Amino acid sequence: MISTIRPLAFAAMSAAILLLLSGELATAGASAPAAPTDLQARVVHDALKITLLWEDNSDDEQQFVLERSSAGPNGPWGIAALVPADSTTYNDSGLNDNVTYWYRIAATNAAGTSDYSNVASGTATDLPMPPPGDADCNGTVTSVDAALVLQFDAGLFDILVCSLLADANQDGTVNSVDASLILQLVAGLIDDFDGPPHESGVRGLVTIGPICPVMQEDVPCPDLPFSAKIVIENDVGTEVASVVSGDDGLFQIELDPGSYVLVPASPNPGAPPFAEEQAVRVLEDEFAEVLIQYDSGIR
């Protein structure tokens, strides 16, 4: 009996050792998961909560390690949560009011831990969501917000506190168009940012010519687009608006229905280039189309 049991026990033990070794070899051949990317921190107003979102770039993670710091983007870091595999969002709640939190996240499995994602931050608050156009997130929309947007668009600073709210027309960019809409809202010309204040006005093309030093027969010398300021006056000669054509010569301005005179400004008063005034009639729900031609003075 003894001689029979010993070989069986040895065989079982050998099989267990082989199974253990095969598992270790499998783990040794595995690799850490790919790092999550595009971490975003979105403040949930009136809740002292920040929602984290990220891109899951692996299919073999066992969990995510979300780390948080209230000291700065370089830490020190502490574990905020262990998030289940395949997750792409987490709500970090119970935060302190008016405290900025920085976050980073990594994926982990038995083989190791991925690199960390980018660092994202948000400032927890129990204040209600600021209104659209509130570029500085102070709860009110004023001309200061328009000024901030213009400075941001000019590159005077890189970060706008409430960039999502500053994007008044929700086209994905914060620029002078948004500043204009904010100013119109402050002035009471529009009630919200759903659309332009008017559905009528004037649009057109501004050109300049001739642009060839010597005009010759059968030699084309087309006029070129021209950027110029166009002053709009009402029928009693009072300036009501102005617009500057772009580098492509195109311009558009919203105006109430009525009679207007377009007065092209000269960059050199009293000297070329200059263009003639034009009377225009704006009808309800229509844009009048005009062509403004500057004389360059070249002959």
CA–CA gap between residue 263 and residue 204 (Å, rounded): 13
Q: Tell me if 291 sits within 8 A of 278, measured CB to CB.
A: no
The pLDDT score that the predictor gives to residue 29 is 63
| All domains of the chain in start order, with CATH | 37-123 (2.60.40.10), 130-196 (1.10.1330.10), 201-295 (2.60.40.10)
Q: Tell me if 35 sits within 8 A of 107, measured CB to CB.
A: yes
Rounded to 5 degrees, what are φ and ψ at 249?
Answer: 85, -5
The pLDDT score that the predictor gives to residue 217 is 64
CA–CA gap between residue 33 and residue 98 (Å, rounded): 35
In sequence order, which residues have a C-beta less than 8 Å from that of residue 152 and are 6 or more positions away? 135, 160, 163, 166, 174
Q: Give one DSSP letter per residue of the chain, joined into a string.
A: -HHHHHHHHHHHHHHHHHHHHHHHHHHHH--PPPPPEEEEEEEETTTTEEEEEEE---S--SEEEEEEESS-TT---EEEEEEETT--EEEE-SPPTT-EEEEEEEEEETTEE------EEEE---SPPPPTT-TT-SS---HHHHHHHHHHHTTS-S--TTHHHH-TT-SS--SHHHHHHHHHHHTTS-SSSSS-S-S-EEEEEEEEE--SSS--TT-----EE---EEEEEETTS-EEEEEE--TTSEEEEE--SEEEEEEEPPSSTTSSSB---EEEEEPTT-EEEEEEEEE----
Task: Work out the angle at residue 40's Cα, subtended by the Cα atoms of residues 53 and 102, and round it to the nearest 5 degrees.
Answer: 115
- Looking up tokens 């229905």 gives 257
> Over its length of 299 residues, how does the chain's per-residue pLDDT go in tens digits?
444 444 444 444 444 444 344 444 445 567 999 999 989 887 777 788 888 889 999 999 999 999 999 999 999 999 999 999 999 889 899 999 989 999 999 999 999 999 999 999 888 888 777 788 888 877 788 988 888 899 888 888 777 767 778 888 877 788 888 888 898 888 888 877 765 445 788 988 888 888 877 656 666 678 888 999 999 998 778 888 899 988 888 888 889 888 999 999 988 877 889 899 999 999 888 888 888 999 988 77
Q: Give one DSSP letter per residue of 173-227, joined into a string.
A: --SHHHHHHHHHHHTTS-SSSSS-S-S-EEEEEEEEE--SSS--TT-----EE--
Q: Tell me if 262 sits within 8 A of 232, measured CB to CB.
A: yes
**Nearest to 245, CA basis, from 227, 258, 259, 260:** 227
